[in-house]
Structure 1
Amino acid sequence: MWGLILNENAKIYRRSRTWIFVGIVMLALLALCMLVRKSIPPSAHVWGLMNTSSGLITLITIFAAVVGGDIVASEFSTGTAKLLLTRPVSRLQILWSKYIAVLLFALGFVALLFVASWILGGLVLGFDGATMPYQYVGSNQEPAQIPYASEVLRSYAFPLVPLVMTLTVSFMISTLFRSSSLAIAVSILLLFAGTVVVTALSRYTWDKYILFANTNLSQYFVGGPSLKGMSLGFSVVVLIVYFVVFHLVAAIAFRKRDVAV
């Protein structure tokens, strides 16, 4: 299994597309650093940049959706699926190795952004300001002083939920379509349409069961849930159900997939 994962990772990092994605995010981080330095004096320190740079995880989510939407479909569109399936391993092992490889790529990308923002922020803006006042609005509505580093970690942790779920959706779609371009297009469309659909259907009570209504877990820590009848436990259960269903659909589709090209 580990050999399969390494092989899939090698495929991801051999493609020039991957390094273009990395370059785009690093250039965006550099531009953000310059913007923070010139335009936002209160945030002009390493923790301020790291907190702001967490917004770039949205960009990483898009790139991860592209990789996830392509990793299975491309095997069938190029005809390499036949060679892949001749190996003495089960189809499910091949499928999960691809998913784990994409997941490691996405999480590694986020880790790279975290480390790069700390290094760049420290070099350009200074390494001071490890603890700063932060207006935390909790259930008691009383402000509290917390370490700024804690807020940075939280700003990076919460976006991981929509990242993983979006990646899982795109991976499932990749197993359903033979065309990698179509799989990528559908994945990105769902990524951008999710919030719009939730907003458009907010008047219905069943809107809370939609996937993208539950991916923002930060709503339970700041400001409260966006829809009635929702709680942290409710969203966690909904996300787990969707996660399992997506993988079941992917597994069934991949096992029944015709390798003829």
Structure 2
Amino acid sequence: MFNLIKNEWIKYFMRPATWVMLSLIVLIFALGIALDHFTTGDTTQNKSYDTNWQREVRTDIKDLSAKVAEISKKDPNKLSFNEAVTLANSEHELTRLSFYLEKNVQPPAMNNFYDYLLETSPLINLVALMIIVIAGSMMSREHQQGTIKLLMIRPASRLKIFFSKYIFILMTALIFVIFTYGVAAIIGLMTRTYNPTSKLAITNPETGAYKMVEFWPLLAKVMVNDLIMVIILATIAYVLSVLLRNTAAAQGIGLGLLFLGSLVVNFIASKTELVKYLWPANWSLNRYVTGLPAVKDMTYNFSLGYNLIALVVVIALAAYIFNKRDIAS
């Protein structure tokens, strides 16, 4: 099986398209840097505190409170755009600094390294798209090009061929996810202020309340959750590639699930809590990190277990069909 996996590795990583995908990830980060440069230009975003941070933070809280009070005296309907933005940013920063001071933790700059790494997670949808394109063509391309018969006459069994391709997909998903976060880390170290402690205040998007967490365990959990979601979508694309033997159909359905799955889940969730039994409602495990599961009583362990069982079922079904199907048909 090792040689089969090695052949897949050589086949796909010798193609320019694979390297174009990896280059596109770097380009997206470069565009993000350019946008930050031309749209922010606020040096206070990178302000950091020294050893006397408590006194500096209290001073900033006092200044921000005065600024908020001054702008709040005006009629909200007559505020200029800049005043409205300044008011919103000042209130946010006032709440953030007050929380750090209350917890006796030195606050990082607003544009800090840890937040930048966490903001990488939404970009995993792009990684999922790339892996779907690869997985969706993995077996169907063999059928369409007629090379599947050459595989069948090799001494390796059908199940070895099936699982060698699937293992390669898992390895590729892992490499792409690590590469994405690796690029983010390198760029973040060059463009963001490094955090003074391992603690980070994060907000619940639903309530707006802050909580203090240890960053590195949180990042590890976010990365694992991202990897699981990519693997799920890649598995679906690969299974469709095996069952349908059509690259366009496998990739199209996979991409449709990626872009429309959350919309369908949110729509159904507004109608019934039974949505939690649908697979797309469970594969984004980072919903639990942000505090926004599809249904409030859903738990991380429920979704994780659901995903593992579903993966085993669909892979076992696809492997059985591939092992029994007449290749000539």
TM superposition score normalised by structure 1:
0.88
Number of residue equivalences: 259
For 1:34-59, what per-residue CA distance to the aligned partner results, in whole angstroms no more than 9, with x for missing partners?
Answer: 44456382543433332222221110
Aligned to 1:220: 288
- Structure 1 stretch 73-82 or stretch 152-161: which is displaced more? 152-161
Structure 1 residues 142 and 123, CA gap change in structure 2 (3 angstroms) = closer
Where does the alignment leave 5 or more consecutive residues of structure 2 unmatched?
A: 46-108
Structure 1 residues 124 and 197, CA gap change in structure 2 (3 angstroms) = closer
Alpha-carbon offset, residue 14 of structure 1? 1.8
Query: What is the distance in 1 between the residues matched to 2:297 and 2:215?
Result: 32
Query: What is the distance in 1 between the residues matched to 2:11 and 2:139?
Result: 12
Correspondences of 1:58-77 after superposition (within 5 Å): 58-77=125-144
Aligned partner of 1:94: which letter?
I
Query: What is the distance in 2 between the residues matched to 1:155 and 1:214?
Result: 15
Alpha-carbon offset, residue 197 of structure 1? 2.2
Aligned to 1:112: 179
Aligned partner of 2:19: which letter?
W
Q: Which secondary structure does the structure 2 equivalent of 1:146 belong to? A: strand
Q: Which secondary structure does the structure 1 equivalent of 2:116 belong to? A: helix
Aligned to 1:240: 308
Aligned to 1:171: 238
Q: Which secondary structure does the structure 1 equivalent of 2:119 belong to? A: helix
Structure 1 residues 26 and 222, CA gap change in structure 2 (3 angstroms) = closer
2:28 equivalent to 1:17: no
Q: Which secondary structure does the structure 2 equivalent of 1:71 belong to? A: coil
Query: What is the distance in 2 between the residues matched to 1:34 and 1:125?
Result: 14
Q: Contact between 2:222 and 2:289, CA under 8 Å: does it hold in 1?
A: no
Alpha-carbon offset, residue 166 of structure 1? 0.7
Aligned to 2:160: 93
Aligned to 1:78: 145
Report which of the two structures shows the higher radius of gyration computed on alpha carbons. Answer: 2
Q: Contact between 2:235 and 2:311, CA under 8 Å: does it hold in 1?
A: yes
- Structure 1 stretch 5-14 or stretch 196-205: which is displaced more? 196-205
- Structure 1 stretch 230-239 or stretch 67-76: which is displaced more? 230-239
Alpha-carbon offset, residue 155 of structure 1? 3.3
- Structure 1 stretch 34-43 or stretch 185-194: which is displaced more? 34-43
Aligned partner of 2:257: which letter?
L
Query: What is the distance in 1 between the residues matched to 2:165 and 2:33?
Result: 34
For 1:69-96, what per-residue CA distance to the aligned partner results, in whole angstroms no more than 9, with x for missing partners?
Answer: 1101000000010111111111011111
Relative contact order (C-alpha < 8 Å, sep 6+): which is higher?
A: 1
Alpha-carbon offset, residue 143 of structure 1? 4.2
2:238 equivalent to 1:145: no
Aligned partner of 2:315: which letter?
H
Query: What is the distance in 1 between the residues matched to 2:183 and 2:197?
Result: 17
State the superposition RMSD in angstroms: 2.6
Aligned to 2:249: 182
Structure 1 residues 43 and 228, CA gap change in structure 2 (3 angstroms) = closer
Q: Which secondary structure does the structure 1 equivalent of 2:325 belong to? A: coil
Alpha-carbon offset, residue 29 of structure 1? 1.4
Q: Contact between 1:64 and 1:106, CA under 8 Å: does it hold in 2?
A: yes
Query: What is the distance in 2 between the residues matched to 1:122 and 1:234?
Result: 36
Aligned partner of 2:172: which letter?
F
Q: Give the one of 210, 213, 221 matched to 2:278.
A: 210
Query: What is the distance in 1 between the residues matched to 2:292 and 2:113?
Result: 29
Aligned partner of 2:16: which letter?
S
2:328 equivalent to 1:252: no
Aligned partner of 1:160: which letter?
L
TM superposition score normalised by structure 2:
0.71
